Amino acid sequence: MSSKVIEADVDESFAADRQVVIEHLAGINPHAQLSEQEKSDYKARIKALLQQHNAVLVAHYYTDPIIQELAEETGGCVADSLEMARFGKEHPADTLIVAGVKFMGETAKILTPHKRVLMPTLEATCSLDIGCPADEFSEFCDQHPDRTVVVYANTSAAVKARADWVVTSSIALDVVEHLDKCGEKILWAPDKHLGAYVQKQTGADVLLWDGACIVHEEFKARGIEDLKALYPGAAVLVHPESPQAVVELADVVGSTSQLIQAAETLPNREFIVATDQGIFFKMQQRCPDKVFHVAPTAGSGASCRSCANCPWMAMNALDNLADVFERTDNEIFVDEALAEQAMRPLRRMLEFKKS
């Protein structure tokens, strides 16, 4: 597929750092050094293994395009974390190969304990998960017993087990609105930006845990304004894990699936997108005639220059996928009692979505 994704090139200082950006991205692109023949050999091998083991590949929108392509070519799915969980649960395969980050593998295992769940690497984690250790979180909940505990899907099984509700970004607003109408006060974790957005939109009483996504937190409002001046017809699509100043510039704020849908349905031909650039694969596939610009992450004092690329998602690669069945260090196990506790808030989420 020809890429129409354009890296942000906002001002001279940014342009000067372009090479740094490209090198950074090449550094985390697991397939940068592979020839086309090597990629094709890997794909053929993985396809055969999936068939042989009655396994299905479930990939997140933020994984490398080649992994997303492979999931689709082999009858698996590419989706957000909620749809990944649903797909894995309903698919008849004995083994789920989850290409994403660890909490997604855990969620798959909790929902389908009878299936084997493997991941290309268990080292693929998430700053939100890391920033919300179960013991500290539990203490925080104990300090606020009057609040309904709502946690984002990007958390460990132990944190989910402590919650009343689990939500993804696609249903966070609806769930909190519902709880607010029921007169409940919320304790929200772990993403403070998404929590603040939900609080603002619903007017609910929300107490926030102090966590953030290292990818979305880097988007800069100033850079987006500059880019918007260059492309005045572009619509701005923003994931709500981004800081408030960035969210305020958005034409559409939403989950990965909602942003893809917005790219399809809005009449604009160009878009500035503030989320992980893995999403461009699906946007470009659905909208081949539209043009997508990566929202800038540059800014004075920024540690990351337009990466917009989750280093943990990038760990899902053809080589570790090709030996996913051979290793012994990549299977997801969740303690049975913990899984049972975590299942309660997860079930609420799944049933809420269906209602």
Minimum CB separation of residue 128 from ligand SF4 in Å reads 5
Q: Is 42 annotated among the ligand-binding residues? A: no
Give me the least distance between CB of 230 and ligand SF4, in Å please: 26
CB of 37 to ligand SF4, least distance (A): 31
Residue 41: exposure state from Cβ atoms within 10 A (0-12, 13-18, ≥19): middle
Place of tokens 């789920």: 96
- Of 228 and 305, the one with the shorter C-beta distance to ligand SF4 is 305
- CA-CA-CA-CA torsion sign (101, 107, 108, 110): positive
Q: Which is nearer to ligand SF4, 215 or 234 (CB)?
A: 215
Whichever of 76 and 190 has its CB closer to ligand SF4, that residue is 190
Asked whether position 61 contacts ligand SF4 by CB under 6 A, the answer is: no
* Residue 31 marked ligand-binding: no
Q: CB–CB of 283/276 below 8 Å?
A: no
Q: Does 308 bind ligand SF4 (CB under 6 A)?
A: no
Q: Does 246 bind ligand SF4 (CB under 6 A)?
A: no
Is 154 labelled a binding residue?
yes
Residue 85 sits in the site that holds ligand SF4 (CB under 6 A): no
Residue 312 sits in the site that holds ligand SF4 (CB under 6 A): yes
Would the annotation count 310 as a binding residue?
Answer: yes
Residue with tokens 């845990």: 209
Integer Cα distance of 285 and 187 in angstroms? 38
Please say which residue, 76 or 100, places its beta carbon nearer to ligand SF4: 100
- Select the residue interacting with ligand SF4 from 213, 235, 274, 283 (CB under 6 A): 213
List the interface residues with ligand SF4, window 115-144 (CB under 6 A): 126-128
CB of 233 to ligand SF4, least distance (A): 28
Q: Which of residues 247-276 bind ligand SF4 (CB under 6 A)?
A: 276
Structure-token match 């012994």, residue found: 328
Q: How far is CA 229 from CA 12, 116, 235, 259, in A?
A: 15, 50, 12, 21
Distances (CA, A) of 210 to 45, 131, 190, 341: 43, 8, 6, 24
Single-letter residue type at 326: E
Provide the 3-class DSSP secondary structure of residue 188: strand
Question: Is position 132 annotated in a ligand binding site?
Answer: no
From the CB of 34, what's the least distance to ligand SF4, in Å?
A: 23
Q: Is 213 annotated as a binding residue?
A: yes
- Residue 240, annotated as binding a ligand: yes
The response to whether 304 counts as a known ligand-binding position is no
Residue 353 CA from chain centroid, whole number: 18
Rounded distance between C-alpha atoms, residue 345 and residue 63, angstroms: 27
Task: Report whether 239 belongs to an annotated binding site.
Answer: yes
In the chain, at which residue ranges do the beta strands (DSSP E only) sit? 5-6, 55-60, 77-79, 95-99, 116-118, 147-152, 165-167, 185-189, 206-208, 235-238, 252-253, 270-274, 291-294
Provide the annotated binding site for [4Fe-4S] cluster: 126, 213, 310
Provide the annotated binding site: 60, 81, 126, 152-154, 169, 213, 239-241, 256, 310
User: Which spans of this chain sit near ligand SF4 (rule: CB under 6 A)?
Assistant: 62, 101, 126-128, 154, 213-215, 241, 276, 310, 312-313
